[in-house]
Chain A
Amino acid sequence: KQEVTQIPAALSVPEGENLVLNCSFTDSAIYNLQWFRQDPGKGLTSLLLIQSSQREQTSGRLNASLDKSSGRSTLYIAASQPGDSATYLCAVKNFVGGATNKLIFGTGTLLAVQP
């Protein structure tokens, strides 16, 4: 059974710092991995999606890496801003019976960027 863990559960940094959020998963037979952010009272916003054949994806100040063999992904945020404050969630999509299936989510990292 796939389990997704995110560390740390919460993180507070001063504005301008670079930071790394971690995600680990127990079953390496994934189809893809997706990073989301969730603002209070809102749904999830997709940030980056990495296919299983890829090593990393970049969007602006965000860079996500994937090491399937070790069951790890990191989300790197450069030059953090107060507007980056949110909960960050990673989720993996498995192969099941030769087909892709539902996303399995981690419990998230609550990020606070202090001005």
Chain B
Amino acid sequence: GAGVSQSPSNKVTEKGKDVELRCDPISGHTALYWYRQSLGQGLEFLIYFQGNSAPDKSGLPSDRFSAERTGGSVSTLTIQRTQQEDSAVYLCASSLAQGGSPLHFGNGTRLTVT
């Protein structure tokens, strides 16, 4: 597609349930990022994939959060045993491999944990 695609656009889940968020990056983009944006807060880095290198997981807030990137393309962010404080907009971005390339963001998934 022309841009970064995220699904679902909205997700409401009960506390304690697991959720999966999906990101389809722009074709040919080898770098993929997940960020979280909470109400009134800035963007919080979660995880970064670059090609076949080991991902930078330094931003994941707890071991309930994990992410995969299969085949160097689609990525899935999984949150296990969701808590109310996980409610936020989860944004995915991709870029070309070169460090100087701009990031292109999807519209995000708005997660609400009740």
Contact = CB atoms under 8 A, between A and B. Distances in A.
Say whether chain A's binding surface is mostly helix, strand, loop, or mixed.
strand
Given A31-B99, A100-B99, A106-B42, A46 B104 contact: yes
B65 interface: no
A102 B99 contact: no
Contact of A34 (B35, B45, B91, B102): B102
B42 A105 contact: yes
A91 B102 CA distance: 11
Interface in A42-56: 42-46, 49, 51
Residues of B in contact with A, size category: 20 to 34
B99 A44 contact: no
Interface of B: 4, 6, 33, 35, 41-43, 45, 48, 56, 59, 91, 93, 99-100, 102-108
Contacts, number: 55
B107 A99 contact: no
Nearest to A47: B102
Contacts of B43: 89, 91, 105
Nearest to B104: A46
A49 B102 contact: yes
A41 B107 CA distance: 8
Contacts of A31: 99-100
A31 B101 CA distance: 11
A56 to B, nearest CB: 16
Interface string A22-35: 00000000011010
A42 B106 CA distance: 8
B99 A104 contact: no
Contacts of B100: 31-32, 49, 51, 100
B45 A102 contact: yes
B103 A42 contact: no
A101 interface: yes
Interface in A96-115: 99-108
Contacts of A68: none
